[in-house]
Amino acid sequence: MKRFLLLCMSLVFVFGIMAGCSSKETAKDGESGGDSKSGDEVVTLNFFQFKVEIADQLQAMIKEFEAEHPNIKVKLETVGGGADYGAALKAKFASGEEPDIFNNGGFKELELWKEKLADLSGEPWVEHVLPIGKVPMTDADGKLYGMPVNLEGYGFVYNKDLFEKAGITEPPKTIDELKEAAKKLEAKKITPFSAGYGEWWVIGQHLLNIPFAQQEDPEAFIAGLYDGSEKIVGNKQFKEFKEVLDTELKYANDNPLTTDYNTQVTLFASGETAMLQQGNWTENMITEINPEINMGFLPIPISNDESAGNLPVGVPNNWVLNKNSEHLEEAKLFLDWMVSSETGKRYITEEFAFIPAFDNIEPAGLGDLGTSILDYSKEEKTIPWTWFKWPDGANKEFAAAIQEYAAGKIDYDTLLERFQSSWDNLK
């Protein structure tokens, strides 16, 4: 009898151990303790962005992030260049394919999208953002809704070797000097300008920013346009804008109205034109085509005033997070990794050729154009980017009017009236 009891007790003990082991294995597979996420679960972040210039480099950076974070995959989709990112983003949300990470320009665009955006005020990288980098995405309550992509500047990118060949010894800073440089280049059978008037943002945003930004007080002028105390028609800077518009069109490549972004940049990079109205975001594309090119920035002057020699510099865009994302914490982790890890910092400066908007990232490997932007910034020879404060959709209407003027369909007075009408109808 004792032997029988001992045998029963032994069997109970063995089955107990087996049951315990089985329970532990189940817990390992399904994650115990009420945690809904498995340690082996892989989540996918949908990253929808517009900077075509860094699409390949961004994909390479994502691979390194995924190697360090095997439970997170990042699916990158890029829509930009000649495509309308804003319309594509709206279509994404309308179809229910809401991205986890996307772009927002700030100011008016922040107001339009704010209800979709996660508050990022408490993120660890915020303390390192340069003051200029916080402005576009900070609301009236002081909450920050976006992480600045970088600092950028634009103007006329110029080929220093072609300028030297044409006998231009000093970079032009005023409209008269620009006209003279264009004449010298043409005399040497060099096409002065690579004009991409087929792209709405090149002319209706970047180029038209100049008369807005060269106002004595750009913010006050824009506020006046909204309340009716200021007008585009009759404004001094908008009258002067005709000079640079006519100069670029007169000395431009063939068919500027049908020239898209890629063609515009390629014409300059291949040495077929001496100047390109673009920004430092084109550096990678230009140097891929011509690694030996020697280039820098010129301002886009509309007059002979001292302010004509300043370069537009600002925050081009911001990374934002969808507050309704199922993987918001993973998306926050990705943003922080981009600007805090050594790998992320290296990509921002050396691979993207970005001017960082953070005090914990040393600018390095910027190239000719990034260095030129820094030089203008250090000398405080800059003017602001104002288009984020314009009425929604105004930039495209402005561009359409400029294209009509370039085609000879309307005169300049009518062009200014069209600008005013668009503003009044959309404000």
163-183 mean pLDDT: 96
Strand order in the sheet with 147-148: 72-78, 43-49, 101-104, 318-321, 147-148
Q: In CATH, what number is assigned to the domain containing residue 392?
A: 3.40.190.10
CA distance 335 to 236: 43
- The amino acid at 358: F
268 and 388 in a single domain? The answer is yes
pLDDT per residue as tens digits for the range 89-143: 999 999 999 999 999 999 989 999 999 999 999 999 999 998 889 999 999 999 9
193 and 290 in a single domain? The answer is yes
70 and 120 in a single domain? The answer is yes
In this structure, is residue 276 part of a structural domain?
A: yes
Q: Which candidate, 120, 249, 133, places its Cα nearest to that of 191?
A: 249
In this structure, is residue 364 part of a structural domain?
A: no
**Residue 38 vs residue 238, higher pLDDT:** 238
Number of folded domains that form the chain: 2
Measured in Å, how far apart are the chain's first and last C-alpha atoms? Answer: 97
pLDDT per residue as tens digits for the range 268-285: 999 999 999 999 989 989
113 and 206 in a single domain? The answer is no
What residues make up the domain containing 55?
43-151+316-359
pLDDT per residue as tens digits for the range 22-43: 333 333 333 333 333 445 799 9
Percent of the chain with pLDDT over 90: 78
Residue by residue, DSSP assigns 11-47 as HHHHHHHHHHHHHHHHHHHH-STT-SS-TT--EEEEE
Statement: residue 10 has pLDDT above 80: no
72 and 117 in a single domain? The answer is yes
Phi and psi torsions of 314, nearest 5°: -170, -170
319-328 mean pLDDT: 98
CA distance 156 to 185: 15
CA distance readout (Å), 392 to 51, 173, 243, 420, 425: 21, 32, 27, 14, 11
Which token pair is 334?
């990705």
In this structure, is residue 310 part of a structural domain?
A: yes
